[in-house]
Amino acid sequence: MGATVTEGCHVAHMYAGHAASSGDAYDFDGTQVEVKVATATSFLVPINGTVVTDENVYAFDASKDFIVAMYIDSAANDSMGVKTALTGATYYYKVTADEVATTNVTGYSNASTTSMTRLLMKIEVWG
């Protein structure tokens, strides 16, 4: 995982949870949880490096869509975008909006994945 040629990618906040059953495709259903790295709410993904997040207790339901929302808080990273290697994923973005904990958001755009940086590689579920 890497962000740009000259710097890593700083993730200021990250939340994950089920998608709402109605509304926008990027709306949470209200059960989202904060995702941390080494108990920190913000973290740096180094160039060509990896970061493993802390485990979360979450009532995961495989029949529902799942959302991972990240706020990347630097101007250099705003134009970078994010891409995931996960099959079946759809990508949305909104520049300079720290709304990742918000259940019902508006104004996001669907993103093309052809020139974006790979950031999310895998979601593991135990249980």
| 0.85 exceeded by pTM | no
Q: How many domains does the chain have?
A: 1
Does the pLDDT of residue 3 top 70, yes or no?
no
| Boundaries of domain holding 62 | 1-120
pLDDT of residue 114: 52
Task: Flag whether 126 is in a domain.
Answer: no
Task: Flag whether 67 is in a domain.
Answer: yes
Which residue do the tokens 């495989």 mark? 62
66-78 pLDDT, tens digit per residue, is 999 998 876 545 4
| CB of 121 closer than 8 Å to CB of 85 | yes
Confidence label for 116 from pLDDT (cuts 50, 70 and 90) = low
Task: Flag whether 16 is in a domain.
Answer: yes
Q: How far is CA 4 from the centre of its chain?
A: 17
Task: Flag whether 127 is in a domain.
Answer: no
Task: Flag whether 125 is in a domain.
Answer: no
